Structure 1
Amino acid sequence: MLERFDRVLSRAEDVFIVTLLVTASAILFVNVVARYFFNTGLVWAEEFVRYEIVWLVFIGGSVATRKGIHIGVEMVLHMLPAPAQRLLNICVGVACVAFCLALAIYGLELVAQTKQFGQRSSAMQIPFWIVQLAIPVGAGLMALRFAQRLYLEIAGTYRRSETAILN
């Protein structure tokens, strides 16, 4: 059941990111062509792509966590004996989960405040809380992914791979 949920969530993350990349590229391309050849442009294009990139960064953080490709400093880790490495990985995992959960909670508070004030984006006039929703959604997904890795580390079944980017 949990494996199926993980597969569905992973697929949804991947499809969402690909969709954002494709639409952002297409919109920017159309906007450049419209400006260069027709001396006009899409008024909302730059704002829309900017907000797509915000979502891309936060959901991409979850994908990076899932694949184990987040940036990290491993020099100290490699200098430690295996039991100390495992303990350090567990401590780092706990800190990452806690940070992401805090970011998700405070992100939700920010979204609620923005929704209450009724702030809208400048060009498209969409509710700005939709853009800010990327913070708690992405941080929540990252917390989930870090928690998965932490569980596997505690169980002793987490596999580090040089080909993590291919997973």
Structure 2
Amino acid sequence: MFRVISILHKIEDALLVGLLLLMIGLAVFQIVLRNGFDTGIVWADPLVRVLVLWLGLIGAMVASRTDNHISIDIASKYLPMGLKRFTGLSVHLFTTIVCALMTFHSARFVLMEKADGLTAFFSVPTWVCELVIPFAFGIITIRYALFFLENLINVFNCRSRKQP
């Protein structure tokens, strides 16, 4: 199981690096074409916008696998260890709920975009470019649900150790 997870992490990392390199290369190439030759690629700007969306959400997926999202962590410095466990538990539960709602509503959004039948560039439908939204939030939801369960087990294990 750990080998499968490791392979999935490597795929995420490679996808993130590949998309970043593609986005930077395409943007630089577009700048060179515009400034050096007074021309450009018509579909490059919409593709770069889509790549920014994909990079942001895949980056969020990568950050979520180690619970490294941006957080405001003022209270944990002043709370006793017992309360820190419960605040961590509530933060993971809240994050799971919010991400689950985002997954659901972004999937609804993609379905509405599919019904519209618009294209982003070339003949690529807009909804295909937006599929990363519910996918990424779904993965983040699963990861934070697992963090929540792990913290819940730790809270119960700590309580059971204290009782004779």
The TM-score by the shorter chain falls in which range?
0.7 to 0.9
Within 5 Å, give how 1:1-167 maps onto structure 2: 1=1, 3-121=2-120, 123-156=121-154
Cα-to-partner distance string for 1:100-129 (whole Å, 9 max, x where unaligned): 1111111111111111221222x4342010
2:90 & 2:107 partners in 1: Cα distance?
A: 26
2:7 & 2:96 partners in 1: Cα distance?
A: 21
- The answer to whether the 8 Å contact 1:13/1:59 transfers is yes
Gaps of 5+ in 1: 158-167
One-letter code of the match for 1:103?
M
Matched positions, count = 155
- The answer to whether the 8 Å contact 1:59/1:141 transfers is no
The sequence identity of aligned pairs, in percent, is: 28
One-letter code of the match for 1:19?
G
1:54 & 1:89 partners in 2: Cα distance?
A: 29
1:52 & 1:113 partners in 2: Cα distance?
A: 21
Aligned-pair CA distance for 1:69: 2.2
Gaps of 5+ in 2: 156-164
How much is the aligned-residue C-alpha RMSD, in angstroms? 1.6
Cα-to-partner distance string for 1:23-48 (whole Å, 9 max, x where unaligned): 00111111111111111111111110
Query: Taking structure 2 as the reference length, what is the TM-score of the superposition?
Result: 0.87
Q: Secondary structure at the match of 2:54?
A: helix
1:107 & 1:141 partners in 2: Cα distance?
A: 13
Aligned-pair CA distance for 1:8: 2.2
Cα-to-partner distance string for 1:117-142 (whole Å, 9 max, x where unaligned): 21222x43420101221210110111
Q: Secondary structure at the match of 1:67?
A: coil
1:145 & 1:55 partners in 2: Cα distance?
A: 19
One-letter code of the match for 1:146?
Y
The structure having more radius of gyration, on CA atoms, is 2
> More displaced, 145-154 or 15-24?
145-154
